[in-house]
Homo-oligomer: A and B are copies of this chain.
Amino acid sequence: MVSSKFDVLTVGNAIVDIIARAEDDFLVRENIIKAAMNLIDADRAEHLYSVMGPAIEASGGSAGNTAAGIASLGGRAAYFGKVADDHLGRIFTHDIRAIGVHFETKPLVAPPPTARSMIFVTPDGERTMNTYLGACVELQPEDIDAAVVADSQITYFEGYLWDPPLAKDAIRLAAQIAHDNERRVAITLSDSFCVDRYRDEFLELMRSGTVDIIFANESELKSLYETADFNTALSAVQKDIDLAAVTRSEKGSIVVTPDNLTPVEAHAIDHLEDTTGAGDLYASGFLFGLTRDRSLADCARIGGLAAAEVIQHIGPRPQVSLSDMLAQSGI
């Protein structure tokens, strides 16, 4: 493999999470789709904040969480994402740099403000997101630092980037630069409703070879192939891409290649607190393993370990050193 400055570059919507506990009937009353990422506008954001319980704020954003996880594992991570030059933007920038991620995307000076997602954590530990995209709508091709893409073993991005208007062009540019430099490109499908919005485009990314690796959970994969049958979806994805990592919550994950399905058990946990970041951190571990030439099963195990850490506390990023956890795990 060509040497690189970065193990993984991730690209995504740069978001600060506002996290509160809520009962299920609150979600029903407010017409919020449970366990999904609900896109909201500024007025809706104001309304939901007014009825939200006491909250904590933590930097988030799917690909931002993944970059933070890679850094915590000891990997060299970079991140592209658009914040505004405001208080939440400074919090986001501080946190991602403080964990060791290279983050130099130019902040937006004009409105809209930095994106925020109001996350309601129900008693079952499930998280339900309500995202106001704010400054993220301005992420565009000129935010792609070609030198960083060229110098990253893997460029990874969120399916969520199909929601803002210009980011998909940025991603196609980044994928082209990555492949021109013999690097790999990965995508997470992000959310089953997101898949429903952009199914044809995601399938085209896979079938055209624009992406080499996909991450999906079971419901996203079933949504992608419009099937209720998981095995049908697994067979379908084997034909469309060389490598897929499919997560199944407490059932662990399955590594999918054209010829093999490799199931890996979930990492044991003491208690489930908040699932926010589970998929993002699984991707951290899996990608870190890939850049360290670990077996695919070990990549899935490292993913499971990173996910296990993040679901045992409130907040979407690791609170302890994943590098230490990995060293102690024997994986």
Residues of B within 8 A of A169 (CB): none
Q: How far is the CB of A13 from chain B (nearest CB, A)?
A: 18
Contact between B57 and A94, CB atoms less than 8 A apart? no
Cβ of A1 within 8 Å of any chain B Cβ, yes or no, is no
Cβ of A68 within 8 Å of any chain B Cβ, yes or no, is yes
Provided the pairs A49-B94, A314-B313 are in contact, do residues A59 and B54 lie with their beta carbons within 8 angstroms? yes
Residue of B nearest to A72 (CB): B54
A58 to B18, CA, bound (A): 10
Contact between B53 and A99, CB atoms less than 8 A apart? yes
Residues of B within 8 A of A110 (CB): none
Number of interface residues of A (CB under 8 A): 27
A5 to B200, CA, bound (A): 60
Cβ of A28 within 8 Å of any chain B Cβ, yes or no, is no
Provided the pairs A313-B314, A314-B313 are in contact, do residues A96 and B21 lie with their beta carbons within 8 angstroms? no
Residues 34-66 of chain A, each 1 if its beta carbon lies under 8 Å from chain B, else 0: 000000000000000100111111110000000
Cβ of A98 within 8 Å of any chain B Cβ, yes or no, is yes
| Interface positions of A (Cβ within 8 A of B) | 20-21, 49, 52-59, 68, 86-88, 91, 94-96, 98-99, 313-315, 317, 319-320
Given contacts A86-B87, A314-B319, 9 further A-B contacts (CB under 8 A): A21-B319, A21-B320, A49-B94, A54-B59, A55-B94, A87-B88, A313-B314, A314-B314, A314-B315
